[in-house]
Amino acid sequence: MTKDFQIVVTGASGFVAKNVRKYLSERNVKLISISRKNFKKFKNETKIVSRNYDEKIILPKIKNSLGLIHLVGIGKQSVKNDFNLINVEFTKKIVNLCKRGKIKKIVYTSGLGVSKKSSFGYFISKYQAEQLIIKSGLDYTIFRPSYIVGNDDLLTKYLKTQIKKGEIQIPGSGKYSIQPIYINDVSQILYKSLIEKKFKKQILDLVGLESFTFQKYVMLFSKTTKTRIKNINLESAYHAAISNPNNEFGVDDLNLLIGDFKGNHKKLQNMSKISFQSINELLDSGRLL
Ligand SMILES: NC(=O)c1ccc[n+]([C@@H]2O[C@H](COP(=O)([O-])OP(=O)(O)OC[C@H]3O[C@@H](n4cnc5c(N)ncnc54)[C@H](OP(=O)(O)O)[C@@H]3O)[C@@H](O)[C@H]2O)c1
């Protein structure tokens, strides 16, 4: 039987959204999912396709939902879509939709390391989006994720493509660390944050239990393949990111990676009480390849 409440998901065709929607659908949660483009819907799901998130179309359908998971965001800017427009202004629009639709709770994925001291574009926009949500008067849970990994996240896709080419390039020393978290754990926690009161008005790092240097992560990821690992000069990596908009690493991707951010897994564990997937084990099993 379906649950007697419904949840709204924005950015429905994105990596995290697809997995979260599947997870919620399998748990018989009624879903309203919104995307700019057509997508395949799951069981118990109502689909809204609207390029500009047209309020007239959306509002009547989302009214009185239990909560909204806001997963629209960009990590790379272009002249048409910059961080302010998508990460900040779009969030403002979604906050207003929540208020007008009498949706009391919003769940947002910001970024690990975001703070009032943030100094680069991507993090500044995430901080500003967080502030909009905090000051909105809505209940919220803000998550600050490290790399969320699964089968088709950006990092995993990047590594798989490089493996096919026979060489993985690591910007700089590779000694900076990442703290990946498995997508299924993320889906579970996002859901819990909507239905469990203890997540009310919380800001939590969304990180796995293990930290890896990037070099080590790449080694473990590719260990059963015969891929060469090559450290590339950081200046060259930034030059490629600045001069080629299609470069695998954008400027802010490099900032994020080299930022060496670490999160508080213990707090997440204590609050969520879930049994986290070890990323070491995941890499060992070859399931990400
Ligand atoms: N994946 C990670 O490791 C990670 C880590 C930290 C933070 N996050 C944050 O978590 C959120 C989801 O991440 P993700 O990995 O699922 O990203 P994703 O796959 O790129 O999905 C983001 C979605 O945002 C929507 N979007 C993008 N540009 C838009 C625009 N101009 N107008 C309206 N909607 C637009 C798109 O949804 P539609 O195509 O359906 O319209 C897109 O699929 C993002 O805010 C991201 O910054 C992710």
Q: Give me the DSSP letters along 76-103.
A: S--SSS-HIIIIIIHHHHHHHHHHHTT-
Q: Is the CB of 40 under 6 A from ligand 1?
A: no
Q: How far is CA 183 from CA 107, 199, 248, in A?
A: 16, 19, 22
pLDDT for residue 114: 98
Q: Is the CB of 96 under 6 A from ligand 1?
A: no
| pLDDT at residue 17 tops 90 | yes
CA atoms within 13 A on the CB side of 160: 14
Closest residue to atom 30 of ligand 1, CA basis = 86
pLDDT for residue 3: 87
Distance 33 CA to ligand 1 centre (A): 14
List, in order, residues 6 or more apart from 85 with CB less than 8 Å away: none
Find, among 122, 138, 125, the residue nearest to 255 by Cα.
122
Distance 224 CA to ligand 1 centre (A): 31
Q: What is the mean pLDDT of residues 67-89?
A: 96
pLDDT for residue 126: 98
Distance 73 CA to ligand 1 centre (A): 4
Distance CA 221, CA 282 (A): 9
User: For residue range 161-203, what is the model confidence (pLDDT) as tens digits?
Assistant: 999 999 999 999 999 999 999 999 999 999 999 999 999 999 9
Q: Is the CB of 113 under 6 A from ligand 1?
A: no
User: For residue range 201-216, what is the model confidence (pLDDT) as tens digits?
Assistant: 999 999 999 999 999 9
pLDDT for residue 52: 95
Is the model's pTM score more than 0.95? Answer: yes
pLDDT for residue 4: 87
pLDDT for residue 248: 87
CB distance 168 to 219 below 8 Å: no
Closest residue to atom 35 of ligand 1, CA basis = 72
Mutate to test the pocket of ligand 1, among 33, 72, 182, 186 (most ligand atoms within 8 A of CB): 72
User: For residue range 217-275, what is the model confidence (pLDDT) as tens digits?
Assistant: 999 999 999 899 999 999 999 999 999 999 989 999 999 999 999 999 999 999 999 99
Distance 55 CA to ligand 1 centre (A): 20
User: For residue range 137-158, what is the model confidence (pLDDT) as tens digits?
Assistant: 999 999 999 999 999 999 999 9
CB distance 96 to 133 below 8 Å: no
pLDDT for residue 103: 98
CB distance 128 to 134 below 8 Å: no
User: For residue range 44-75, what is the model confidence (pLDDT) as tens digits?
Assistant: 999 999 999 999 999 999 999 999 999 999 99
* Residue found by looking up tokens 């009310």 in the block: 200
Q: Is 60 helix (H, G, I), strand (E, B) or coil?
A: helix
Find, among 286, 265, 251, 21, the residue nearest to 120 by Cα.
251
Distance CA 95, CA 100 (A): 9
End-to-end, the C-alpha distance of the chain in Å comes to 36
Domains of the chain: 6-149+180-207+262-274 (3.40.50.720)
Q: What is the mean pLDDT of residues 82-107?
A: 98
Q: Is the CB of 37 under 6 A from ligand 1?
A: yes
Bridge partners of residue 35, in order along the sequence: 49
pLDDT for residue 38: 97
CB distance 53 to 93 below 8 Å: yes
